[in-house]
Amino acid sequence: MATIPKRTSDVIDHFGPHVAYAHGKRLDAGAQAECLVKTHCCFCGQQCGIQLKVKDNTVIGFEPWTEFPFNRGKLCPKGVKRYLQGSHPDRLATALARSESAPGGFASIAYRDAISRVAAEIERIQSAHGNDAFAVLSGASLTTEKAYLMGKFAHMCLRTSNIDYNGRLCMVSAGAANKKAFGIDRAANPWEDIPRADVVWISGANIAECAPITTDYVWQARENGAQIIVVDPRVTPIARTCDLFLPVKPGRDIALFNGILHLMIENGWVDQLFVDRYTTGLDAVAEHVQQWTPKRTAEVTGIAETHIRRAAEIWGTARRSFLLHARGIEHHSHGVQNVLGAINIVLASGRIGRPGCGYATITGQANGQGGREHGQKCDQLPGGRDLGNPDHRAHVASVWGIEPESLPQPGVDAYEIFRKIERGEIRGLLSICFNPVVSLPDNNYVRRMLEKLEFYGAIDFFLNETARHANIVLPGSLHEEDEGTVTQAEGRVIKINKAVEPPGDARQDWRIIQDIAAALGRERGFTFTEPREIFDELRAASRGGVCDYYGITYEKIENRLGVFWPCPELEHEGTPRLFEPGSWNPIARGSGPFYFPDGRARFNVAAYSPPAEDVDEEYPIILTTGRVVSQFLSGTQTRRIGPLVDQYSEPRVEIHPTLAARLGIRDGAWTRVRSRRGECTLRAMVVNTIRPDTVFIPYHWPDARSANQLTIAAQDPISKIPEYKVCAVRLCPAESEPAYVREETKR
Amino acid sequence: MGVPGNMEFFIDPSRCIGCQACVQACSECDTHKGHAMIHLEYIDRSLSTQTAPVVCMHCDIPTCAEVCPADAIKRTADGVVQSARKPRCIACSNCVMACPFGVPKMQVEMELMMKCDMCYDRTSAGLKPMCATVCPSQALFFGTREELAELRPRSRPANTFHFGNQTITTKVNMLVPKGGGAASVNVIDAFDEEPVGMSISIDPLLAGMYVEDQRNAS
């Protein structure tokens, strides 16, 4: 029974989150750093370069790294304060076993014993119920080496189909659509193309808060004369001064893209030469978008018709352009269709694969790109290869020295893993770098499923809210305690460098995985002595695939401050901009710029359908969720960093004054938000920067403050991304402050 | 050694995204670790995400120094108005009340006025100030006029401000749209104005919304 062993408050007293502030040598103005370690931020997918100041095996501060080309020293508040996650009072320095009698519900145990327990449970569950009865949940904040090893561990050591990762909540809609349209899943352009564009179109991307460094690229485009179009249900900081703001009703982005394409065709704004030469499928799409007249588009999207026409004209007549999108259009039960709609207007414009002509999704997680390429995704093998493809299986099996038949078949997505727990098909779980009770939708269900597990082992550096359910917790490594590579939002492979050693019994995650493999008596293939060796095997495993890393080495990354994949040979320079004439492409082999045998990009019909749960009389208001600038994802790290907590300390419900007045809710008042799945009482923030039919709650908090108590577990049929961006709720003023606040005040 | 004469500080509030990277980074500065000297505030969050970052403007004739009875505030030859000197400051708060930009802060527990000194330890050693280095939107920019002219063709630097009858020139520049004169702030002007915020009649969000939809929402 993986229930929480103690009252939540007891667990928090012992394992946090507690907030850390600078003190001691971190506050001492005279403290001289012994060294500055050039590395990257541990948080979002931009992976800003940063130098960590190290003294006595502690990171005591930072110094901007102005030479790193992506950010040139720029950092957001998370990057500035990231160093406070190290030497933290909540840091796990020993293995833990759940124990009713121990303070906080967990007792420290010897690392070796913990490993033996995990291995014994894997053995027991797999021999009694089959290999697939033990599942692995991994994460996209891991280095590419670790992500690769997690996939190899599940597929080769555990021989389970059931591994998936938290990139499932992040980039998969964009990834699936990019593969359908371009045959490759990567930002098509480096960010240096943004300031060269005449138009920057931003759909569903709160750039200022979720990818702050990208702001300067957008503003520089504006300085150079570009017009900025922002599509969002909220006037985000980047929307405030844009040239055209389209306040889309959540869940209606396809309708807008189809409406824009309709006007491009009607007005002759399609680049017919490009379409004829390099694409296929526009005819069917053109027929489909005939119904998307400006009037109908306005009715469905909630955007004024004049604004739709203006957007189409600005986009249609541009010479150079860059379209960016993020989770705002991807977190939907039709997220893939949304992205295909966006790609259609890019392809019709012909503005891709040239300087100043670009397209990209803004990857969210630290290694959102690298973490989705090398085999920790349920249907994937290294190099962006498919687990269901016999040729791909044969290639990877040969690198791993095993028979292709011994590789399991594709498994299921992260949410389906919980449904399999409900059905008794999965009985054991090992997780790393994933906090699903905060980050998955309808998280009361997720909690109940964790309670059904026979065994749950968690690897983490803090006891995150999900790990509270674990039987065994293994102390893993912080970002600054290991080296390896990540691939950031642009597709640039960069190097993470170790600054300090892990404390106590904690150790690098790849060592923990290898220790489990050894305890299972299956250490073959899991005897790496350093991340470089893992990377070298990954290079070989990815060779010849679409995500080809063969030509990338640690030295090359450090000498060139990053190398863009694909990079198929050691002499190859890497590929900053995709789809350029003559650029390396193992699929098209010279027949065209895109990654299909005929070299042509695909237009795809993007059919509109309403959200899985539309509003009705009972639940008349749309809830949409997202992030704030000072917190990151499930908050395991950022809710432990004092200055970041102070900046935005608890989630608030953003409500338009029109709606607030109708419901009798005042700014700052306790407000109950209820959906069919749960309820949540939070303070209201009455602002006219949100649509009157929509409320917004950031999702970084657990338990009673968690927005994901309300969200719906509807998923895109292709990408399996959950629909975080739309569900139906009702609101009312709360009679009094909520119980959780009263309890916290008492304590 | 002082701050190089060709390196200047420019503030462009139209770029600011309110992320507080500057505030967080300021508190990491070695000379005042743990205390942020920068001000970043929402103008009126209920109406807009507009924020205003304010560093010390480093006036040519600093009002703070002029009103200081203890002569604790010095302007160095490179034009930087330094934070109050600990041995002299009597924590009277004259400077806090007199500064037209609202910059100095009284640190009551330390009995000391502290304010932005343009990261003197960094800028006098060839580095950029911490806030302008990290600023993701580059609303805070530190560089030469030539760099600025190339990067920001739509703006011009302004460093003359009128506060009632007082005219102040500063080392730090505000970026304003090309054209237009010196900024004037006069409390008497405000007597005829609507209260802050109420005069904003066009809600950018409602302007872009389909009317049918508005009717449904209200």
- Distance in angstroms (rounded) separating the CA atoms of residues A659 and B200: 19
For A207-218, give the DSSP string.
Answer: HHHHSTTHHHHH
Say whether A689 sits in a helix, a strand or coil. coil
A183 inside domain: no
Do the Cβ atoms of A235 and B133 come within 8 Å? no
User: Are A397 and A350 in a shared domain?
Assistant: no
- Share of chain A residues as helix, strand and coil, in percent rounded to the nearest 5: 35, 20, 45
> Do the domain assignments include residue A3?
no
Rg of chain B's alpha carbons, rounded to an integer?
19
B-chain CB neighbours of A666 within 8 Å are: none
Q: Is residue A681 part of a domain?
A: yes
Q: Which two structure tokens, joined as six digits, stand for A234?
A: 């909220």
Does residue A355 sit in the same domain as residue A373? no
- Closest chain A residue to the Cα of B31, Cα to Cα: A29
Q: Is the dihedral of CA B173, B175, B181, B186 positive or negative?
A: negative
* Inter-residue contact A730 to A619 (CB < 8 Å): yes
Q: Give the integer Cα–Cα distance in Å for B151 and B149.
A: 6
Residues of B in contact with A686 (CB under 8 A): 46
Restricting to B residues 41-70, those with a Cβ less than 8 Å away from any Cβ of A are 45-51
Q: Euclidean distance between the first and final Cα of chain A, in Å?
A: 28
Give the number of beta-carbon pairs within 8 Å between A and B.
Answer: 164
A403 domain residue, yes or no:
yes
Contact B46 A667 (CB under 8 A): yes
Instruction: Determine, for residues B216 and A693 on separate chains, whether the beta-carbon distance falls below 8 Å.
Output: yes
The enclosing H or E element of A20 equals: none
pLDDT at residue number B208: 85
The predicted-structure confidence for A575-588, as pLDDT tens digits, reads as follows: 999 999 888 999 99
Other CB atoms within 10 A of residue A422 CB: 12
CB pair distance less than 8 Å for B28 and A80: yes
| Residue A11 contacts residue A468 (beta carbons within 8 Å) | yes
**Cα–Cα dist A745/A308, whole Å:** 50
pLDDT at B199: 44
| A265: in domain | yes
Domain count, chain A: 4
Contact at 8 Å (CB) between A439 and A634?
A: yes
A-facing residues of B in 63-122 (CB < 8 A) are: none
The residue among A516, A535, A564 that closes a domain is A564
Q: Do A330 and A382 fall into the same domain?
A: no
Using CA coordinates, name the residue in chain B closest to A644: B24
Helix (H, G, I), strand (E, B) or coil at B171: strand
Domain end point (choices A361, A390, A412): A361
User: Could you tell me the CATH number of the domain that includes residue A539?
Assistant: 3.40.50.740
Q: Tell me how far apart the alpha carbons of residues B81 and B74 are, in angstroms, rounded to a whole number.
A: 6
Q: How far apart are CA A44 and CA A82, in angstroms?
A: 11
Give the pLDDT score at B188.
63
Stated as kind and residue range, the H or E segment containing B39 is strand B39-42
Looking at residue A283, which CATH number applies to its domain?
Answer: 3.40.228.10
Residues in chain B with CB shorter than 8 Å from the CB of A73 are: 128, 133-134
Residues 148-177, chain B, touching A (beta carbon < 8 A) = 151-154
**For position B202, what pLDDT does the model report?**
59
**Host domain of residue A650:** 621-746
| Residues A631 and A686 reside in one and the same domain | yes
Residues of chain B with pLDDT under 70: 180-202, 204, 211-218
Spell out the residues 6+ positions from residue A514 whose beta carbon is closer than 8 angstroms to its own.
A149, A523, A526, A527, A528
* Burial B155-187, CB ≥16 within 10 A → b, else e: bbbbbebeeeeeebebbbbbbbeeeeeeeeeee
Domain membership of residue A177 (yes or no) is no
Q: How many whole angstroms separate alpha carbon A360 and alpha carbon A191?
A: 9
User: Measured between CB atoms, does B126 come within 8 Å of chain A?
Assistant: no
**What is the rounded distance in angstroms from the CA atom of residue A456 to the CA atom of residue A474?**
11
In the numeric block, the tokens 């959102």 are attached to: A368
First vs last Cα of chain B: how many Å apart?
63
Would residue A596 count as lying in a domain? no
Predicted structure pTM score: 0.96
Residue A530: the pLDDT is 98
Do A249 and A283 reside in the same domain of the chain?
yes
pLDDT number for residue B182 = 59
Question: What CATH number should be reported for the domain whose range is B8-217?
Answer: 3.30.70.20
Residues A257-291 as b/e (b if ≥16 CB within 10 A, e otherwise) read: bbbbbbbbbeeebbbeebbeebbbbbeebbebbee
Are A325 and A195 part of one and the same domain?
Answer: yes
Given a contact cutoff of 8 angstroms between Cβ atoms, the answer to whether A593 and A274 are in contact is no
Give the three-class secondary structure for A242. Answer: coil
Handedness of CA A261, A264, A269, A270 (dihedral sign): positive
On whether both A537 and A495 belong to a single domain, the answer is yes
| A691/B14 CB distance under 8 A | no
User: Is the ipTM here above 0.85?
Assistant: yes
The verdict on B208 touching A (C-beta cutoff 8 Å) is: yes
Q: What is the CATH number of the domain that holds A728?
A: 2.40.40.20
Say how many C-beta atoms besides its own lie within 10 A of residue A89's C-beta. Answer: 11
Residue with tokens 């929509």: A694
Task: Catalogue the E-assigned strands of A79-238.
Answer: 95-98, 106-109, 134-138, 163-165, 199-203, 227-231
Find chain A residues with C-beta within 8 A of B217's C-beta: 656, 658-659, 691-693
CB contact under 8 A, B33 and A29: yes
Residue B1 carries which side chain, given as an amino acid letter? Answer: M
Max intra-chain CA distance, chain A: 74
Across chain A, which has 747 residues, the per-10-residue mean pLDDT values are 74 96 85 94 98 96 97 98 97 96 95 98 98 98 98 98 97 97 98 98 98 98 97 96 96 98 98 98 98 97 96 98 98 98 98 98 95 95 96 97 97 98 98 98 97 98 97 98 98 98 98 98 98 98 95 98 97 97 91 97 98 98 98 98 97 97 97 98 97 97 98 98 98 95 88
Nearest by CB to residue A80, choosing from B14, B25, B212, is: B25
Residue ranges in A588-677 assigned as alpha helix (H): 642-647, 657-663
Report CB contact under 8 Å: A247, B205. Answer: yes
By the 8 A CB rule, do A615 and A621 touch? yes
Residue B183 touches chain A, beta carbons under 8 Å: no
Q: CA quadruple B1, B4, B10, B16: dihedral positive or negative? A: negative
User: Is there a domain that residue A64 lies in?
Assistant: yes
Q: Do A64 and B130 touch (CB under 8 A)?
A: yes
Provide φ and ψ at A492, rounded to 5°: -90, 120
Residue B17 CA to its chain's centroid (Å): 14
A531 shares its domain with A646 = no
Nearest to A714 by CA among A701, A727, A729, A695: A727
Neighbouring-strand partners of residue A679: A674
A575 to each of A274, A365, A545, A601, how far by Cα in Å?
A: 22, 22, 15, 18
Q: Which residues of B touch A247 (CB under 8 A)?
A: 205, 208-209
Is residue B11 within 8 Å of residue B53, measured between CB atoms?
A: yes
Domain boundary among A361, A395, A425: A361
Q: How far is CA A578 from CA A326, A507, A594, A599, B32, in A?
A: 19, 38, 8, 13, 46
Per the CB < 8 A criterion, the answer to whether A233 and A219 are in contact is: no
Query: Which of A43, A127, A95, A167 minimizes the C-alpha distance to A458?
Result: A95
CA distance A713 to A333: 9
Determine the Cα–Cα distance for residues A499 and A635; give it in Å rounded to an integer: 23
Which of B32, B46, B137 to mutate to test binding with chain A, by most A CBs within 10 Å of its CB?
A: B137
Nearest to A358 by CA among A317, A318, A323: A323
CA distance B100 to chain A (A): 27
Same domain, A141 and A53: no
Q: What is residue B185's predicted lDDT score, i.e. its pLDDT? A: 61
pLDDT attached to residue B218: 44
What are the chain A neighbours of B28 within 8 Å (beta carbons)?
22, 61-62, 80
Q: How far is A687 from chain B (nearest CA, A)?
A: 4
Query: Domain limits of chain B?
Result: 8-217
What is residue B197's predicted lDDT score, i.e. its pLDDT?
Answer: 46
Contact A249 B134 (CB under 8 A): no
Pairing of strands A484-487, B166-177: unpaired
Q: Is B67 exposed, middle or buried (0-12, 13-18, 19+ CB in 10 A)?
A: middle
The CATH code of the domain that includes A71 is 3.30.200.210
Closest to A366 (Cα-Cα) out of A642, A597, A46, A659: A46
